[in-house]
Amino acid sequence: MGGQLGGTPILVLREGSERTKGKEAQNRNILAAKTVASAVRTTLGPKGMDKMLVDSMGDVVITNDGATILKEMDIEHPAAKMMVEVAKTQDDEVGDGTTTAVVLAGELLKKAEDLLEQDVHPTLIASGYGMASEKASVILNGIAADVKADDIVMLKKIAKTSITGKGAEIGGENLIDLAVNAVSAIVDEDGSVDIENISVEKKTGANAEESQLISGMVIDKERVHPNMPKKVEGAKIALINAALEIEKTEVDAKIEITSPDQLKSFLDEEERMLKEIVEKISASGANVVFCQKGIDDLVQHYLAKAGILAARRAKKSDMEKLSRATGGRIVTNVDEIEDNDLGSAGVVEERKIGDDQMIFVEECKNPKAVSILLRGGTEHVVDELDRGLHDALRVIGVAIEDKKVIAGGGSPEVELALRLREFASTVGGREQLAIEAFADAMEAIPRTLAENAGLDPIDMIVALRSAHESGSKTSGLNVYEGKVVDMNEAGVIEPLRVKTQSISSATESANMILRIDDVIASSRSAAPPMPPGGMGGMGGMGGMPPGMDFD
Ligand SMILES: Nc1ncnc2c1ncn2[C@@H]1O[C@H](COP(=O)(O)OP(=O)(O)O)[C@@H](O)[C@H]1O
Ligand SMILES: [Mg+2]
């Protein structure tokens, strides 16, 4: 909207546009970002509180998950939206540590405010923060420990740390076991983990402890015909991405019927073709069929007669996972189906779960996709369990991929504060001030953990600092007893990436906000109307014009 032509500034702004410059713009941005941080900070840690979010349709979400809170909040200010992006990036990269990232970003900006007051230039602050962030990553790598992909005990600690204080905690040890076993099952040969290969089916009406891991898949479908077997042992599974019917258009185009005889022979012909489809499937040796498209009534009948269990209109994503779980190949042409296209499973069975029938594909050998059937009393409970489970799956996956873990409970942040202050003095100059501010900002994490647990934050910080000064790098906060303890012994363990990512994304966004000294917001009245349902699907970013009324 603004430009420079031969030294002549050109500015074309819509009438009603708002422009804020210099200190004013900076202050407003920082305030907006801090507001977002303070909205989520009370949820941090095992004793953090939950938020109840009500959207414009009156739908309620109760959660403790930073990324979810920010996603559901109707945030407008551009700088505040950048904070939402921090949470989103963190969530995409590691799936945990979102609140930490946002709290850190808010604290970095708060410290920057003090430096701006002292007339330290924002560029200098940003460069000091950048240096500190890089150094922080080196320090964290130095205090991280190795973990092996088969270290179940350690992986369980990681899963437990990520769901402590979340609604998902009610899932207890069972949920943690499920999560660890599920991820362990789907590790790729190259050591990478894609948790997309774990499908989570949510069903209300039972306790979280009744959740189960299926060594294969559970599909939210029922068999298409009541005469089909409910249970097939030694299942040979055909995965078909084609309609098991005669293409209607083809028929319409070619057939012109003029006599009853013709009609009969046409119907006979149609029946023969449909029967042939089933014969081909049967000839391949299949006794179970998952079809991504529809299945004609007659085909259903013949499949039932042939003793084949079939389900139709399976989701594409489920078909892909079925393929990974059973080793079968998805075929698009029934004529081509052969024995070696078929997947296998020890047993395929339709069972009633809650009010619905579901098909279990179990006892797969070495499945590369698995399912978790997640149970909970109510929708709200299962949804929060699902969010917690998702975080747990992610952190287990990240730990297996990176093979590096670090103690939590505020211990890495206290260690960083200590070591970065030492580092600052070696840098000197004005950047030293920024690095020191960065070091102070790190302590926002243990301080907030203490505050949220109703502990005296000053006492706790003092005790933590002194433990770290005397060399115990993994001393953190036992939030239940208000004591400083070794976090390795307490079993509070996180993947290294959760920490490094939260610090780097917090730094990046704080720096981005710091470098802005001009906010040009186009007129709000020119904005397109909100879509019906509004914020629900907003995802925080996009859609809304930048408004300036956050504060
Ligand atoms: N049992 C525990 N004792 C002390 N701190 C813990 C414990 N479990 C988790 N934490 C700490 O809580 C913080 C994470 O809190 P959480 O609410 O999950 O926020 P985030 O969205 O940043 O993951 C981390 O610093 C983690 O080390
Ligand atoms: Mg967490």
Q: Which atom of ligand 1 is nearest to the CA of 476?
A: 4
The answer, yes or no, to whether any atom of ligand 1 lies below 6 A from the CB of 167, is no
515 three-class SS: coil
173 three-class SS: helix
Contact between residue 200 and residue 386 where contact means Cβ atoms under 8 Å apart: yes
Residue 184 one-letter amino acid: S
Contact between residue 34 and residue 42 where contact means Cβ atoms under 8 Å apart: no
The answer, yes or no, to whether any atom of ligand 1 lies below 6 A from the CB of 161, is yes
First to last CA, the chain: 25
Residue nearest to atom 18 of ligand 1 (CA): 45
Residue 162 CA, ligand 1 centroid: distance in Å: 7
The answer, yes or no, to whether any atom of ligand 1 lies below 6 A from the CB of 505, is no
- For the annotated catalytic residues, the residue numbers are 65, 98-99, 391
As beta bridge partners, residue 146 has 404
Backbone angles phi, psi at 356, to 5 degrees: -115, 155
Q: 457 exposed, middle or buried (CB, 10 Å; 0-12, 13-18, 19+)?
A: middle
Q: How far is CA 77 from the centre of its chain?
A: 24
The beta strand positions in 474-549, using DSSP E, are 475-478, 483-486, 493-495, 518-521
Cα separation of 375 and 231, whole Å? Answer: 23
The answer, yes or no, to whether any atom of ligand 1 lies below 6 A from the CB of 445, is yes
Contact between residue 90 and residue 43 where contact means Cβ atoms under 8 Å apart: no
Residue whose token pair is 């594409």: 316
Cα separation of 249 and 245, whole Å? Answer: 12
Max CA distance (Å), the chain: 99
Contact between residue 343 and residue 327 where contact means Cβ atoms under 8 Å apart: yes
Residue 441 one-letter amino acid: A
Residue nearest to atom 15 of ligand 1 (CA): 45
As beta bridge partners, residue 475 has 486
3-class SS letters over 258-275: CCHHHHHHHHHHHHHHHH
Q: Which pLDDT belongs to residue 546?
A: 42
The answer, yes or no, to whether any atom of ligand 1 lies below 6 A from the CB of 452, is no
Please enumerate in sequence order all residues whose Cβ is within 8 A of that of 150, keeping only pairs 6 or more positions apart, or say none: 184
The CA–CA distances, whole Å, from 186 to 237, 370, 475 equal: 20, 7, 34
Residue 146 one-letter amino acid: D
Q: Which pLDDT belongs to residue 547?
A: 40
- The helix (run of H) or strand (run of E) holding residue 310 is strand 309-311
User: pLDDT truncated to tens, each residue of the chain (551 aa)?
Assistant: 444 555 555 656 666 677 777 788 888 889 988 988 988 899 999 888 777 777 777 777 777 777 777 777 777 788 888 888 888 899 888 989 999 999 999 999 999 999 999 999 999 999 999 999 999 999 999 999 999 999 999 999 999 999 887 766 777 788 999 999 999 999 988 999 999 999 999 999 898 889 999 999 999 999 999 999 999 999 999 999 999 988 765 555 566 777 788 778 877 888 898 999 999 999 999 999 999 999 999 999 999 999 999 999 999 999 999 999 999 999 999 999 999 999 999 999 999 998 899 999 999 998 999 999 999 989 888 988 998 899 999 999 999 999 999 999 999 999 999 999 999 999 988 899 999 999 999 999 999 999 999 999 999 999 999 999 999 999 999 999 999 999 999 999 999 999 999 999 999 999 999 988 777 777 655 444 444 443 333 333 333 344 434 33
The CA–CA distances, whole Å, from 423 to 102, 181, 230, 433 equal: 24, 42, 68, 11
H helix runs in 73-198, sequence order: 78-93, 98-117, 122-143, 152-163, 172-185
Cα separation of 372 and 351, whole Å? Answer: 15
Contact between residue 132 and residue 420 where contact means Cβ atoms under 8 Å apart: yes
Please enumerate in sequence order all residues whose Cβ is within 8 A of that of 430, keeping only pairs 6 or more positions apart, or say none: 120, 124, 128
Contact between residue 302 and residue 356 where contact means Cβ atoms under 8 Å apart: no
- Hey, which of 36, 41, 44, 71 would you mutate to test ligand 1's pocket, going by the most ligand atoms within 8 Å of its Cβ? 44
The answer, yes or no, to whether any atom of ligand 1 lies below 6 A from the CB of 66, is yes
Within a 13 Å sphere around the CA of 68, how many CA atoms are in the beta-carbon half? 22
Residue 247 CA, ligand 2 centroid: distance in Å: 51
486 three-class SS: strand
Please enumerate in sequence order all residues whose Cβ is within 8 A of that of 449, keeping only pairs 6 or more positions apart, or say none: 44, 45, 47, 409, 410, 477, 479
- In terms of Cα–Cα distance, which of 171, 144, 146, 142 is closest to 159? 171
- Hey, which of 161, 394, 398, 502 would you mutate to test ligand 1's pocket, going by the most ligand atoms within 8 Å of its Cβ? 161
Q: 214 exposed, middle or buried (CB, 10 Å; 0-12, 13-18, 19+)?
A: buried
- The helix (run of H) or strand (run of E) holding residue 487 is helix 487-490
Residue 450 CA, ligand 1 centroid: distance in Å: 11
Q: Using CA atoms in the order 62, 68, 74, 79, what is the torsion angle rounded to 10 degrees?
A: 140
